Structure 1
Amino acid sequence: MNLTEEAKTGLQAYSTNMAKSYGVTVVDKQFSVTAPMELKLRAALLESVAFLKLITMHPVLQIQGQVIKVGNTAIATGRKKDGRFASGQGMTGHDYSLAATDSCAEVTWDMLASWANSGNTNQFMMLMSQNATMRFALDMLRIGFNGVSVSVDSDPEANPLGEDVNKGWLQIVKEKAPDQIMTDPVYFNPDAIGPLKEGEYKTLDALINEMKNTLIHPSLRDHPGLSVLVGSDLTAAAETKMMNAADKPTEQVALAQLSSGYGGLRAYTPPFFPGKRIQLCFPKHLHIYTQKGTSHRKAENVEDRKQHEDKYWRYEGYGVEEFEGFAAIDEANMHIGAAPAPSA
């Protein structure tokens, strides 16, 4: 299929508007994003995916450095015999490292023709802009939750969740604070009857409470910012059990309250969060860093591939602010169902 005249008109308007926004002449040649436009781009990314608003996105000056502390969860009140009390708020000492990161949001000619025929030029430009920013934003979370390495050449077929693009939050904690990760096999068995076997839990509340009381620092366990991220496989198993027993009044109440939280913590299931993972954390302590002055954009119609490509290049990386406020069960150690019988 060739690019339709309506789509050509829409693309021309989109390119002209994009060039005006970034203060450049053309956008089909790579251009540097100025500091004011970096702020606007970051704001657009935050608006496109709700969970990004809960974490911390920071511009930094260096490719390597210390994780920025955005707040202090320690006590701020006390006294000092010979002066004024201060609990202190310094750098955490955790390091971050950025890597060259290249994003490309493609739209095929077929899709461009469909968008061009579905509304006016303004609607077409909105779809183009939303497609790019949402894909870039979702990839930030996809890599943040699943990244384990930084490969010279990433392989999206072998690593569809960006496992080889950068080291995400869980991988950082695994390497730098492994005691915060539960490594023993865990069995979530909502159908359990009678005594539970070792490593077996009947409710998510019980499991999350144990994680909180054994892995989270005592000074942080009751902090209102502490939340739990729960994979969709686990929430589905919990909800199915509740639904099957929802003829009882108490179970109906529990089902209604299920989505509000677990273990007394506010609960989320973010995009691309592994289905059998549980992670306790302060969302604001999950960081994404972009080096100032490295952001570059390019938007072009590539005839050889019959698609339009919106590109975003920068140095980017991840950081965790306080390891003591982070705890997780890796999905490799989480099982849904009964624990095996103990060996004789």
Structure 2
Amino acid sequence: MAYSLSNHGAKMYAALQVAIAETYGVDLSRRMFSVDPTIAQELNEAITAKSDFLQRINVIGVSEIKGQKVFLGVSGPVTSRTNTSTTDRVAKDASALDDSTYELSSTESDVGLPYAKIDAWAKFPDFHQRYSAAVQKQIALDRIMVGFHGTHAAVQTNIATYPMLQDVNKGWLQIAREQIPEQVLSEGAVDGKVTLGAGGDYANLDALVHDAKQLVDERLRDGGDLIAIIGTDLLAADKAKLYAKQGDVPTEKERIEDAQVIATYGGLPSFSVPFFPVNAVVVTSFDNLSLYFQDSSWRKQTIDNPKRSRVEDFNSRNEGYVIEQLEKFAMIENVELVTA
């Protein structure tokens, strides 16, 4: 059954169109338009602000769809001494040893807003701000999901087949699997799984994270900025063991909750990140993970589609995922918990 906008809803939609046009400095938002690079940067900052994780990593605009990585990774020590009476001083090549290029892919974030929802939201005077914030938050979450689950960039994506957006782009984990397989451990001693628990490959999570750290280049291992990103199933299992041992003591239970299990694993600060695989561990630094977007590539259009009883908001840009220093990234995945 067709649904028509109420008079008030129509007014709010018209106000939304005006607000979008004013925000992006265009005459009409119902026509496809290019977003000015300065405004694109502001839009990305707004999206990034919706996620604690995105605020910790690099989300940066670049001018080219292909090019050199933005951040120069230093591969090792640069300090020495030269006996200049017999030998010339030689400047060391401190650049990272890995592939230093990136490539971006076209990415769409298109949102359908049913008339009925516009009518329901029309009672809020800040309708435009609420709508923009909701879309920006979802784009932020989608970016994280692709970063951890993306395996390829398909010409035509299929969310039914790839519900975790695996076909939108190659994310950080897939880049590591392809470019540094020697720093990715996905098989253990038995049945192709890395086992965790009594009698497994690793007795506990501390030992697993410690081994993951050893896969990082030794010249970058002790810089003080490494962290461990740990899957929720592995954290939950470790938390359950702590509760079993100490949970009956009220003060101890409160301490466990406040500390979010424990502060470190394998000597590294540990973090739980949205959409990170539940049975994996990554050791790197936050600033070693990047999301690049082409600052001149943002396109936007908002149209009224009565054939579908909705407003459609089309957003596109070129973006991609980058591990700045491959030598500074390690992963253990396919971890299976050993149960007694």
Same fold (TM over 0.5): yes
Letter in 2 for 1:19: A
Letter in 2 for 1:305: R
Give the structure 2 partner of residue 204 of structure 1.
Answer: 205
Matched position secondary structure for 2:157: coil
Trace 1:266-285 onto structure 2 (pairs within 5 A).
266-285=269-288
C-alpha change, 1:296 and 1:220, in structure 2 (3 Å) is: same
Q: 1:296 aligns with which of 299, 308, 320?
A: 299
Mapped pair 1:328 → 2:336: no
C-alpha change, 1:249 and 1:217, in structure 2 (3 Å) is: farther
Looking at structure 1, the residues matched to 206 and 242 of structure 2 have their Cα atoms a distance apart, in angstroms, of 13
C-alpha change, 1:12 and 1:79, in structure 2 (3 Å) is: farther
Q: 1:28 aligns with which of 18, 27, 30?
A: 30
How many pairs are equivalent?
A: 326
Matched position secondary structure for 1:218: coil
Q: Which moved more, 1:239-248 or 1:41-50?
A: 239-248
Identical aligned residues as a percent: 30
TM-score by length of 2: 0.87
Residue 183 of structure 1 and its aligned partner are, at CA, apart by: 2.2
Give the structure 1 partner of residue 103 of structure 2.
Answer: 97
Q: Which runs of 5+ in 1 are unaligned?
A: 340-344
Residue 221 of structure 1 and its aligned partner are, at CA, apart by: 2.0
Residue 175 of structure 1 and its aligned partner are, at CA, apart by: 0.8
C-alpha change, 1:115 and 1:85, in structure 2 (3 Å) is: farther
Contact 1:245/1:251, CA 8 A, preserved across alignment: no
Matched position secondary structure for 1:245: helix
Looking at structure 2, the residues matched to 17 and 98 of structure 1 have their Cα atoms a distance apart, in angstroms, of 30
Residue 295 of structure 1 and its aligned partner are, at CA, apart by: 1.1
Residue 308 of structure 1 and its aligned partner are, at CA, apart by: 2.5
Give the structure 2 partner of residue 342 of structure 1.
Answer: none
Q: 2:116 aligns with which of 88, 110, 115?
A: 110
Q: Deviations over 1:231-251 (max 9, x none)?
A: 111111111221122236996
Looking at structure 2, the residues matched to 243 and 60 of structure 1 have their Cα atoms a distance apart, in angstroms, of 47
Looking at structure 1, the residues matched to 72 and 21 of structure 2 have their Cα atoms a distance apart, in angstroms, of 34
C-alpha change, 1:268 and 1:304, in structure 2 (3 Å) is: farther
Contact 2:302/2:312, CA 8 A, preserved across alignment: yes
How large is the RMSD of aligned CA atoms in angstroms?
Answer: 2.4
C-alpha change, 1:309 and 1:86, in structure 2 (3 Å) is: farther
Looking at structure 1, the residues matched to 327 and 71 of structure 2 have their Cα atoms a distance apart, in angstroms, of 14
Residue 337 of structure 1 and its aligned partner are, at CA, apart by: 2.4
Give the structure 2 partner of residue 243 of structure 1.
Answer: 243
Looking at structure 1, the residues matched to 207 and 339 of structure 2 have their Cα atoms a distance apart, in angstroms, of 16
Letter in 2 for 1:315: N
Looking at structure 2, the residues matched to 226 and 274 of structure 1 have their Cα atoms a distance apart, in angstroms, of 19
C-alpha change, 1:84 and 1:223, in structure 2 (3 Å) is: same
Q: Deviations over 1:32-66 (max 9, x none)?
A: 01121111111111111121111112222332223
Mapped pair 1:144 → 2:147: yes
Looking at structure 2, the residues matched to 255 and 150 of structure 1 have their Cα atoms a distance apart, in angstroms, of 40
C-alpha change, 1:15 and 1:326, in structure 2 (3 Å) is: same
Contact 1:182/1:328, CA 8 A, preserved across alignment: yes
Contact 1:132/1:310, CA 8 A, preserved across alignment: no
Looking at structure 2, the residues matched to 210 and 255 of structure 1 have their Cα atoms a distance apart, in angstroms, of 26
Residue 67 of structure 1 and its aligned partner are, at CA, apart by: 2.2
Letter in 2 for 1:230: I
Matched position secondary structure for 1:125: helix
Residue 291 of structure 1 and its aligned partner are, at CA, apart by: 2.0
Looking at structure 1, the residues matched to 93 and 8 of structure 2 have their Cα atoms a distance apart, in angstroms, of 61
Q: Which runs of 5+ in 2 are unaligned?
A: 188-192
Mapped pair 1:165 → 2:168: yes
Trace 1:223-234 onto structure 2 (pairs within 5 A).
223-234=223-234
Letter in 2 for 1:150: A
Mapped pair 1:311 → 2:314: yes
Residue 105 of structure 1 and its aligned partner are, at CA, apart by: 2.5
Matched position secondary structure for 1:310: strand
Trace 1:7-86 onto structure 2 (pairs within 5 A).
7-69=9-71, 72=74, 74-75=76-77, 77-82=79-84
Contact 2:41/2:295, CA 8 A, preserved across alignment: no
C-alpha change, 1:86 and 1:25, in structure 2 (3 Å) is: same
Give the structure 2 partner of residue 178 of structure 1.
Answer: 181
Looking at structure 1, the residues matched to 143 and 127 of structure 2 have their Cα atoms a distance apart, in angstroms, of 25
Looking at structure 2, the residues matched to 128 and 334 of structure 1 have their Cα atoms a distance apart, in angstroms, of 39
Q: Deviations over 1:224-274 (max 9, x none)?
A: 221111111111111122112223699655665425332221222222111
TM-score by length of 1: 0.86
